[in-house]
Structure 1
Amino acid sequence: MKKMLKKSILSIAALVMIVSLLAGCGGGKDSTAGGSAGDIKVGVLFSLSGSLAVTEKGMANAALLAIEEINAAGGINGRSISAVQEDYASEPSGAATKAKKLLQQDKVAAIVGGYTSASRQAMLPIVEQANGVLVYPTFYEGQEYSKNIIYTGATPNQQLQEFVPWLMDNVGKKVYFIGSDYVYPVETNKQVKELLKLNGGEVVGEEYVPLGQSEFASVINKIKEAAPDVIFSDLVGDSVAAFYKQYKSYGLDPAVMPIASPVTAESEVVSMGADVAAGHISSSAYFQTVDTPENAKFVEAYRAKYGENEPITQVIEATYFSTLLLAEALKKAEDVTDAEAVIGAFAGLEMKAPQGTVKIDPENNHAWLNSRIGKVGADGQFEIVQSTSEPIYPEPWAKILYPEHEKPWKK
C-alpha cells in the first residue's frame, strides 16, 4: 500500500513538472499585470457615489464598454482585459487610497480614471511613487506634466482659443465670470481674460462660489446690474443646473445675455431641462451630435448597453477613446508591467475617435483634440455652430500666459 501511494505521488509530481515545462515553452515573456498568466488587469476608478457620480458613472460606463469591445475583438494580443472597478465616492483622498490599492495590491497595468483636478492631483504622487500609469480623460486647467500620466482631456487652449473670439464676434464683448471656487475655473479664467484683451473684450464682474452651491440670487442680481453681453460659467457639478434654472426664473434671456461654458454638457442639460438650457452655448471637443461614422457607432453601442435616454458627454467620449488607446499601447508594449514601456507605447498613437482624429503628443503626453462650439436647441441637443477641421496641439502651459515656460518633458 505504501509503495502504491509513493508511486502515485511520484506520478503526480511528474505530471505537474511536465505541465510546467509545457507552459514555459511559449518562449514569450509573461506580460500580464501581476505577473501571472491570464487576464491583464486595468483599473477603472471613478465616483459611483457622492456629488460627482452624476457625471462619473457615465465615464465608468464608457470604460467598461470599451473594455468589452476590446475583448470581443481579441483582447491584448489574445489576452483579455479584466476591469478592476473602484469607487472613490467623490473624495480626492478616496481617489488616492483607491489608486494605491489598484497599483500595489491589484497590480493593474494602468488606471483609467479621475474627474476633478483635485482627484488627479491626489492620485499623481501615488502613481509616480508606484511608477504606475494613469490615463486621465477629463478637460483640465493645464500647468502640469507627469511622465506617468496620459492626459486625454482638453487643455484650456483647445477649448478657448476658438471659443473666446467667436463669442466676441457673435455675442458681445462684455463678460461676467461665474465659477466654482477651485483650481480649474480660476486658472481657466486667467486664459479667458488674456484672450479677451486680444479681442477687445471687457470683464464686468467675477464671482466664485463654493463647490455644491445651489443658491444664486445674490449673484444673479449682481449680473443684472453689470449687464454683460455674455456670462462665462465654469460652474461644475450640481451647481450648474441650479444656476441655469435660477437664471431663467429671474427672467434673464439667452437671446440677450447667454451663458457660455467650457463645462456645461449633455448631462447638465438633462438635469436642468431643455427649456432651461435652450439658447446657451458651450465649447467642447465632442458633442453627442457630432456627425462621424465612429460617433454613430459609439452612440448606438452606448445606448444599447446603458439606455436610450442616457446623455453622452465630452468626458464620456474621452474615457471611451482613452481606453481604446490604452489597449493599443498595451499591444505595443513588450511588458505591460513596465510603466515606461506602456507610456512609451502611447507616444504618437493616433485613432479615429467618435469626435474625429485624436493623437497623443509624443513629447508632453497630452492629446491633440478637436474644438467645437455648440448652442443648445429646443430639443436639448447641441447644434454645432463651429468646428475645427484638424485637431489642436495641446498646450499644458498656454503660450498666452506662459510664453517662456520651461517644458519639463524636455529636461
Structure 2
Amino acid sequence: MKFKQSLLAGVAGLSMVASMALQAADTIKVGVLHSLSGTMAISETTLKDTVLMLVDQQNAKGGLLGKKLEAVVVDPASDWPLFAEKTRELLEKDKVDVIFGCWTSVSRKSVLPVIEELNGLMFYPVQYEGEESSKNIFYTGAAPNQQAIPAVDYLMNELGVKRWVLAGTDYVYPRTTNKILEAYLKSKGFTDEDIMINYTPFGHSDWQSIVSDIKKFGSAGKKTAVVSTINGDANVPFYKELGNQGISAEDIPVIAFSVGEEELSGIDTAPLVGHLAAWNYFESVDTDVNADFIKTWKAAMGPERVTNDPMEATYIGFNMWVKAVEKAGTTSVDKVSAALIGTETANLTGGTAKMLKNHHLTKPVLIGEIQDDGQFEVVWETDGLVPGDAWSDFLPGSKDIISDWTAPISCGNYNTVTKKCSGQNF
C-alpha cells in the first residue's frame, strides 16, 4: 500500500514538473535589465515600465507565435558589475529570449561579454558614444552622428558659439563622446584655449566651484555653451547651481544629451528654462502616433507620467523584435538577428525607423528648448532621417572602419582600407 502511494505521489510529482515545463515552454520570456535603485533609477525605472506596458499590449493582441509574453524583471541597482551578473541570470536561469536593458555605456560594456558568450539578444535604447558594434546587441538609441555632432552644429551655426565647455560624468560615454567632439571642433578651427573639458563622478552634488569655473570661462567675450553628457541625478544640483550663480540660457546655454522629460518631472524647472537638449524624440511632437502612445502610457501608468526619447527607442526596438520573430517564426537569436536587419517600423515623430546592417537605426535629430512646464519646444530638426554610424568619422582609428553584419562581411569593425575585420565584434 505504501509502495503504491509512493508510486502515485511520484507520478503526480513528475506530472507537475512536466506541466510546469510545458507552461514555461508556452511563454516567450522578455528580460528587463534596468536599474530600479541607485543613481540611475531616476532614468531607468521608466524604461522598465515601458517594456511592461509593451508586453501587456502584445499579450492583448494574442501574444507572439501563439504564446504569451512573460516579462522577467531584475534590478542591477546602478552597479555596473551587477549588470553582468543579472544578464547571466536572465540567460542561464530564466532562459529569456530577449533582453531590453541598460542605460549607461559602462553597464552595457559590462553586459557585452556575457551576452556574446551566451549568445543572447539585447536591445540598447539610449544614446551612446559609438565605437562598438556587437552581433548580439541592437542599438536603438542615437549614435554620436545622430545627436552630439548635430547639437554642436546647431550651437555653432544658429547661436554663434565660439567657446565650448564639454562637461560629463566620468565614464566611457562622456569621455568617448567628448573625444569625438573635441576632434570635430578642432576640424572646424577651434583651438585648445576655446575648449574646456570637465568630468565629475556619478551622483556628484557639489557644483559650486565647477559652475564658477564655467562662468569664468564664459566671460572672455566669446559666445560660450556647455555641451552636457552629465548623467543621472547629478543633473538636478548642476542646473540648480547654474541658477544660483545667475547663469541663464541667454548667457551660457547648456545643451544636454541625457536630460529629458523624465529627469525634469517633479523638479523646479525655473533654472532650466531656455536651456536645450538634443534627442530624436520629444513628448511635445505633434503626430497622431505620438498622441496615441502618450494616451496609452498615461492610461497605464497615471496622468502625471511623461514620455521621453529612450522610451521611444524602446518602443521601436520592441516592435522591431516582434516583427522579426514573426518573420523568422522562432525566437532563435541567430534567426531573429538576421530577420531584424532591414526591418522597418513607425517611430513616434511621424516617420519610419529602419534597422541597418550595422545594428543601428535611421533617426531624425531634434533640438528642444526647456519650457517652464518641464516639456520641450522643438526649435530645430534635421530635414530627414540620419542613418546611425557605429564608428566616428572624426577619430583616426575609426574613420576607415564600418560595421556590417551581413554576408560576406559579417563583422562589427571591418577596415575598408585593409579589407580585414580587426576583431569578432568591436
Residue 301 of structure 2 is matched in structure 1 by 306
For 1:180, give the aligned amino acid: T
Q: 1:222 aligns to what SS in structure 2?
A: helix
Q: 1:34 to 1:244 in 2, by over 3 A?
A: farther
Query: Which of 20, 29, 33 in structure 2 is aligned with 1:45?
Result: 33
Match of 1:293 in 2: 288
Relative to structure 1, is the Cα distance of residues 204 and 149 closer, same or farther in structure 2, using a 3 angstrom cutoff? closer
Query: Which of 174, 185, 195 is the aligned partner of 2:184?
Result: 195
Find out whether 1:405 has 2:396 as its counterpart.
Answer: no
Q: How many residues align?
A: 385
Q: Please give the secondary structure, in 2, of the residue aligned with 1:177.
A: strand
Asked whether the equivalents of residues 168 and 201 of structure 1 are also in contact (C-alpha less than 8 Å), the reply is no
Whether the 8 Å contact between 1:50 and 1:90 is mirrored in structure 2 is yes
Equivalent AA in structure 1 for residue 390 of structure 2: P
Counterpart Cα distance in 1 of 2:189 and 2:376: 27
Q: Is 1:383 matched with 2:377?
A: yes
* Structure of larger gyration radius: 1
Does the alignment pair 1:57 with 2:53? no
Partner of 2:389: 395
Cα distance in 2, alignment partners of residues 199 and 177 from structure 1 = 16
CA distance in 2, matches of 1:156, 1:195: 11
CA contact (8 A) 2:280 2:365 kept: yes
Contact between 2:248 and 2:271, CA under 8 Å: does it hold in 1?
Answer: no
C-alpha spacing 1:314/1:398, structure 2 compared with 1 (3 Å): same
1:251-270 pair list within 5 angstroms:
251-270=246-265
What secondary structure sits across from 1:384 in the alignment?
strand
SS in 1 for 2:378: strand
Report the Cα distance in structure 2 between the residues aligned to 1:42 and 1:270, rounded to whole angstroms.
Answer: 28
Letter paired with 2:235: V
Q: CA deviation at 1:233?
A: 1.3
In structure 1, what is the Cα distance between the partners aligned to 2:334 and 2:235?
39
Q: How far apart are residue 218 of structure 1 and its match? A: 0.9
How far apart are the structure 2 equivalents of 1:275 and 1:127? 43
Q: Deviations over 1:132-170 (max 9, x none)?
A: 111111111111111111111111111023221110122
Runs of at least 5 residues in structure 1 that lack an aligned partner in the other structure: 21-32
Partner SS state of residue 265, structure 2: helix
| Residue 199 of structure 1, CA deviation | 4.0
| Mapped partners of 2:401, 2:380: distance in 1 | 31
C-alpha separation between the residues in 1 aligned to 2:128 and 2:79?
18
Moved more, 318-327 or 263-272: 263-272
Give the percent of matched residue pairs that are identical in Structure 1 and Structure 2.
35
Q: Which residue of 2 aligns with 1:163?
A: 151
1:87-166 map, 5 Å: 87-166=75-154
Deviation readout 1:74-130 (Å, 9 max, x if unpaired): 221322211111111111111111111111111111111111111111111111111
Counterpart residue identity of residue 271, structure 2:
V
CA distance in 2 between counterparts of 1:142 and 1:301 reads: 32
Structure 1 position 175, deviation (Å): 1.1
Contact kept, 8 Å, 1:113 with 1:137, in 2: the verdict is yes
Q: Please say if residues 179 and 235 of structure 1, whose CA atoms lie closer than 8 Å, have aligned partners that are also in contact.
A: yes
Query: Structure 1 length as normaliser, TM-score?
Result: 0.88
* Contact 1:48-1:88 within 8 A present in 2 as well: yes
Question: What's the CA shift for 1:367?
Answer: 1.6
Give the corresponding residue for 2:167: 178
Q: What is the rounded CA distance, in whole Å, between the counterparts of 2:310 and 2:268 in structure 1?
A: 20
Q: Distance in 2 between matches of 1:200 and 1:303?
A: 47
Conserved 8 A contact 1:358-1:370:
no
Mapped partners of 1:68, 1:404: distance in 2: 44
SS in structure 1 of the partner of residue 141 of structure 2 = coil
RMSD: 2.4
1:271 to partner: Cα distance: 4.9
Equivalent residue runs for 1:15-34 within 5 Å:
none
Residue of structure 2 equivalent to 1:221: 212
- Give a deviation string over 1:252-287, Cα, whole Å, max 9, x none: 121121111222211222254221210001110111
Deviation at 1:214, TM superposition (A): 0.6
Q: CA contact under 8 A between 2:39 and 2:202: conserved in structure 1?
A: no
Specify the SS of the correspondent of 1:162.
helix
Query: Whole-Å Cα distance in 2 between the matches of residues 270 and 162 of structure 1?
Result: 26
Counterparts in 2 of 1:34 and 1:249: CA distance versus 1, 3 Å: farther
5+ residue gaps, structure 2, are 404-410, 415-420, 422-426
Aligned twin of 1:24: none
Q: Is the 8 A contact 1:372 1:384 kept in 2?
A: yes
1:267-314 per-residue CA deviation (whole Å, 9 max, x = no partner) reads 222254221210001110111111221111111111111121222221
Q: Does 1:80 align with 2:68?
A: yes
Q: What is the CA deviation profile of residues 199-229 of structure 1, one whole-angstrom value per residue up to 9, with x for unaligned ones?
A: 4545342111111111111111111211152
Aligned residue number for residue 235 of structure 1: 230
- Is 1:282 aligned to residue 277 of structure 2? yes
What is the Cα deviation at residue 232 of structure 1?
Answer: 1.4
Return the offset for 1:198. 4.2
- Residue type of the partner of 1:226? F
Give the distance between the partners of 1:379 and 1:297, measured in 2 at CA: 21
Deviates more, 1:385-394 or 1:115-124: 385-394
SS in 2 for 1:240: helix
Aligned-partner residue type, residue 236 of structure 1: N
Residue of structure 1 equivalent to 2:326? 331
Q: Distance in 1 between matches of 2:202 and 2:315?
A: 27
Change (3 A) 1:287 1:200: farther
Answer whether contact 2:28 2:69 (CA < 8 A) is retained: yes
